[in-house]
Amino acid sequence: MIEKGKKVAVEYTVFLADGTQIDSNVGEEPLVLVLGSHQVFPALEEALLGLHPGDEKQIHLLPEQAYGPVVQEAFKEVDLEAVPDSFRYVGAVLGIQDPAGGVFPIRVHQINENKAVLDFNHPLAGQSLRFDMKVIEVR
């Protein structure tokens, strides 16, 4: 049975509220995590508690339980010259490297004559998500 501190292997498929599949590891290596170590959303960890190997569960997360709401302060206006030519269109996604070496996606939200509005929100901010989970192993 899944308890905090247990190592858990799961298969998952993630969907947007409209049913669009956005991620899955089915048919690949399962995701292995230690429950309670904050490797996934806390609400997802909580929903897995008490499950056993072979159990399947649909878990619905509100935006606040996943990537958060869209934050208006995360929209920044910059000079158009700051955006590379090949990314000067609405919807383009730039990858900016953070100090830890990870890549942070920034979406071009609007293009004006001399300015661009960039959206620094996570691409899934404001989205409700559905996780179809299957417990493969509990150690």
Give residue 130's pLDDT band: very low, low, confident or very high (50, 70, 90).
very high
Question: Residue 15 belongs to a domain with what CATH number?
Answer: 3.10.50.40
pTM confidence score: 0.84
Residues 55 and 96 in one domain: no
Residues with Cβ < 8 Å from 83, sequence gap 6 or more?
Answer: 92, 94, 108, 116, 118
Residues 115 and 99 in one domain: yes
Cβ atoms of 104 and 121 closer than 8 Å? no
Residues 27 and 44 in one domain: yes
Cα angle 34, 134, 69 (rounded to 5 degrees) comes to 70
Residue 110 lies in a domain: yes
Whole domain around residue 17: which residue ranges? Answer: 7-67+125-138
Residues 130 and 106 in one domain: no
Number of structural domains in the chain: 2
Residue 18 lies in a domain: yes
Average pLDDT over residues 72-77: 97
76-112 tens-digit pLDDT: 999 999 999 999 999 999 988 878 888 889 999 999 9
Give residue 132's pLDDT band: very low, low, confident or very high (50, 70, 90).
very high
